[in-house]
Chain A
Amino acid sequence: MKYDTIIPAGESWIHEILKGQYFRIVDVEGNQAADTLFYNAHDYEDRYSAQDTVRAQANIYLTIGTRLMSSKGNVLLTIVADTCGRHDTLGGACSTESNMVRYAIEKRYMHACRQSFVKAALAWGIGLGGMLEKRDITHNINFFMNVPVTPDGGLTFEDGVSGPGKYVEMRAEMDVLAVISNCPQLNNPCNAYNPTPIHVLIWDPMD
């Protein structure tokens, strides 16, 4: 294995994945949302687009065969294995501000994914040749989350499709920068009210 790490709940992670490499995210204990963003590693302006991804396959759920599309129409990665079966890209990331709207204004002081995303983006900009800011944090993928849309245009949250050891695996179709916030949300069942670690692996096809 070329790269192998555990991301504790509430932490962010940022790493490049090269074209042809495989990228696996494992839901170690089950029902843990892995909020994930991707960028073209050579042009951060060209980044994962939830709308372009769902429209390109005319389906809102991400699973085997889904091509993760960029804002400029490029295929960033393709999902090649998936033992969970369904992943969300409409529910976005929790933030201190959206927690105030969704739950109560007093929830402002609880940890949230967008804090982790911004922290990772700003850290990547220092001395690593990159430059990412809050405005580059776009709408993410929620691996292991289930957010069904109903035929009459409702949005529901029906978590529980994932389980211990389930994983999703992608092949990079170009050099990409990946950013993960391992979700700290405690106000809804997206993490079964108990945020847990996720396991991330990257390897070359020859390994």
Chain B
Amino acid sequence: MNVLFEDIIQPGATWSHVLKRGTAIRMTDIKGGANAAGIFYNWESPTERYNLPDTLKAQHVAHLTRGHVLYSDMGRILCSITEDTAGWHDPLSGCSNAALAEAKYGEARYQEHRNDCIKNPYDGFVVELAKYGLSARDMAAPVNFFSKVVVDKDGNMQFVTNHSRAGTTIELRAEMNVLVLLNTCQHPLDPKPRYDPKPVSIMIGKVAAPASNDPCRVSRPENTRGFILTERYFV
């Protein structure tokens, strides 16, 4: 990766960027135990956005890792997961909101706690979406990067603690010009009773276009077609 800029997303913060085709974002869990909820849109036409069921169905998965891609509702690939040392990121559990955060963590207002006040991802996303002319109507289903939730044979969901260690990284390559929103609040099923979100460092850089034998392209025949449809968009 030819690095263009770096930043550290502070704990509980919301961050956004239009990730250009031909670049990638590398996220690193600096301290261990981080969660980064992410939502994704086609920047040129934001009614096209990350689609959770289409992503799962096309790849027959209920988790995300290297070799998988994030599909939009238009049959195109927004991002590919090109590197991953966690092995599992959770697409199922969504994000917390003000009422859930208060029920779990209590109240900690800005007045008393300044920038350590308790934040929640739903409100963080809606405020950030508004900066691009989008609203709660446009909320896409978040992927919870660095978090693992397993499902047993009866359908029960279980959050796996200590999944992401310090230094865990994931790299997303943009296959379109993608509006990316990230929020570093805790996972909604994290059993830790205390509000204790972690920072996530990010690095944006130029990367090569996916080759004909790119692992994400050839991982499934569905993804090969997904790349064809994405490349047709730019014709």
Question: Could you list which residues of chain A lie within 8 angstroms of chain B, going by C-beta atoms?
Answer: 44-46, 49-52, 54-55, 58-61, 71-73, 86, 90-93, 95, 97-98, 100-102, 104-105, 114, 133-136, 138-139, 148-151, 153-156
Contact = CB atoms under 8 A, between A and B. Distances in A.
Contacts of A139: 51-53, 141
Given A98-B58, A149-B62, A45 B154 contact: no
Given A60-B92, A71-B136, A91-B57, A155 B62 contact: yes
Nearest to A93: B53
A153 B157 contact: no
A150 B13 CA distance: 33
A61 B151 CA distance: 11
B137 interface: yes
A59 B53 contact: no
A150 B61 CA distance: 9
A190 to B, nearest CB: 11
Contact of A100 (B46, B154, B229): B229
B93 A55 contact: yes
Contacts, number: 137
Interface of B: 46-47, 51-54, 56-63, 71, 73-76, 88, 92-95, 97, 99-100, 122, 135-139, 141-142, 150-158, 188-189, 222, 225-226, 228-229
B71 A73 contact: no
Contacts of B154: 59, 61
A134 B49 CA distance: 11
A200 B59 CA distance: 33
Contact of A60 (B47, B57, B155): B155
A202 to B, nearest CB: 26
Contacts of B189: 55, 58
14 contacts: A50-B53, A54-B92, A59-B156, A71-B122, A92-B54, A95-B75, A97-B74, A97-B229, A98-B51, A101-B222, A102-B57, A151-B150, A154-B60, A154-B62
B137 A98 contact: no
A22 to B, nearest CB: 25
B75 A97 contact: yes
A153 B62 contact: yes
Contacts of B62: 90, 149-150, 153-155
Nearest to B60: A155
A155 B100 contact: no
A92 B52 contact: yes
A125 to B, nearest CB: 13
A72 to B, nearest CB: 7
B61 A58 contact: no
Contacts of B142: 51
A135 B137 contact: yes
Given A55-B188, A153-B150, A101 B137 contact: no
Nearest to B154: A59
Contact of B99 (A58, A73, A100): A73
A155 B94 contact: no
B151 A55 contact: no
Contact of B152 (A52, A54, A151): A151
Nearest to A58: B157
